[in-house]
Chain A
Amino acid sequence: MESFLEFEKPVAELEGKIKELRHMVDDGDMDIAEEVTKLQNRADKLLEETYASLSPWQKTMVARHLDRPHFSHYVTNLIEDFSPLAGDRTYGDDLAVVGGPGRFRGRSVMVIGHEKGSGTEGRVKHNFGMAHPEGYRKAVRLMEMADHFSLPIITLVDTQGAYPGVQAEQRGQAEAIARAVETGLNVSVPVISVIVGEGGSGGAVALAIANKILMLEHSVYSVISPEGCAAILWRSSEKAETAADALKLTAQDLLQLKVIDQIIIEPTGGAQRRPSETVQRVGDAVAVALEDLESTPDADFRALRREKFLEMGKVGLT
Chain B
Amino acid sequence: MNWLTNFVRPKIRSLVSKRDVPENLWHKCPSCEKMLFHRDLAANQHVCPHCDHHMRITPEQRLSNLFDDGDYETIPLPEVVQDPLKFKDSKKYADRLKDNRAKTGDNEEVRVAVGKMGGLDVVVEVQNFSFMGGSLGLAGGEAMLTAAREAVERNAALVVFTAAGGARMQEGILSLMQMPRTTVAVAQVREAGLPYFVVLTDPTTGGVTASYAMLGDIAIAEPKALVGFAGPRVIENTIKEKLPEGFQRAEYLLEHGMIDMVVHRSQMRDTLVRLMKLLRNQPRSVATSEGGEQLEIPELPVTVEVETEDGWVEVSPTEGTPVSNENMGLKRAAE
Contacts and interface: CB of A to CB of B under 8 A. Distances in A.
Interface of A: 162-166, 168-175, 177-179, 181-182, 184-186, 201-202, 205-206, 209, 221-224, 228-229, 232-234, 243, 246-249, 253-254, 257, 259, 306, 309-310, 312-317
Nearest to A182: B183
B87 A246 contact: yes
Interface residues of B, number: 54
A175 B229 CA distance: 9
B172 A169 contact: no
Contact of A181 (B81, B141, B172, B183): B183
A174 B229 contact: yes
B184 interface: yes
Nearest to A204: B176
A117 B274 CA distance: 50
Contacts of A182: 183, 186-187, 215
A259 B230 contact: no
Contacts of A223: 167, 169, 171-173, 175-176, 207
Contacts of A174: 209-210, 213-214, 227-229
B152 to A, nearest CB: 14
A248 B172 contact: yes
A230 to B, nearest CB: 9
Contacts of A312: 174, 177, 181
A259 B173 contact: yes
Given A222-B176, A223-B167, A234-B89, A257 B84 contact: yes
A169 B177 contact: no
Nearest to B139: A313
Contacts of B234: 164, 228
A186 B175 CA distance: 21
A317 B174 CA distance: 11
Contacts of A163: 238
A316 B184 contact: no
A209 B211 CA distance: 13
Interface in B221-246: 227-230, 234-235, 238-239, 243
Given A166-B243, A169-B235, A309-B180, A257 B173 contact: yes
B235 A164 contact: yes
Nearest to A302: B187
Q: Which 5 A-B pairs have the closest CB atoms?
A: A316-B84, A164-B230, A174-B209, A174-B229, A233-B89
Contacts of B63: none
Contacts of A179: 214-215
Given A166-B247, A201-B207, A248-B172, A259 B177 contact: yes
A314 B215 CA distance: 25
16 contacts: A164-B235, A174-B210, A184-B180, A185-B183, A201-B207, A209-B180, A223-B171, A223-B172, A247-B173, A306-B187, A309-B181, A313-B138, A313-B178, A314-B81, A316-B85, A316-B86
A175 B214 contact: yes
B38 interface: no
Interface of B: 80-81, 83-90, 138, 141, 145, 167, 169-181, 183-184, 186-187, 206-207, 209-215, 227-230, 234-235, 238-239, 243, 247-248, 256-258
A139 to B, nearest CB: 14
Contacts of B207: 201-202, 223
A165 B234 CA distance: 9
Given A162-B229, A223-B175, A310-B145, 18 more contacts: A165-B230, A171-B256, A174-B214, A177-B211, A178-B215, A181-B179, A181-B180, A202-B229, A205-B177, A205-B179, A223-B167, A223-B169, A224-B167, A229-B169, A233-B90, A234-B90, A246-B172, A314-B81
A181 B141 CA distance: 15
Contacts of A222: 172-173, 176
B184 A306 contact: yes
A159 to B, nearest CB: 13
Nearest to B141: A313
Contacts of A234: 89-90
Nearest to A169: B228
Contacts of B239: 165-166
Contacts of B187: 182, 185-186, 306
B169 A313 contact: no
A309 B174 CA distance: 10
Nearest to A242: B89
B81 A165 contact: no
A166 B97 CA distance: 34
A141 B313 CA distance: 41
Interface centre among B87, B172, B177 (most CB of A within 10 A): B172
Contacts of B175: 223
Contacts of B258: 172, 175
Contact of A168 (B85, B169, B176, B229): B229
A223 B86 CA distance: 16
A316 B256 contact: no
Contact of A173 (B138, B141, B212, B229): B229
A309 B177 CA distance: 7
A186 B187 CA distance: 9
Contacts of A254: 173
A15 to B, nearest CB: 35
A114 B257 CA distance: 27
Nearest to B96: A233
Nearest to B188: A306
B85 A178 contact: no
Nearest to A314: B81
B321 to A, nearest CB: 37
B184 A309 contact: yes
B210 to A, nearest CB: 4
A238 to B, nearest CB: 14
A81 to B, nearest CB: 31
A234 B238 CA distance: 20
B175 to A, nearest CB: 5
A249 B90 contact: no
A249 B145 contact: no
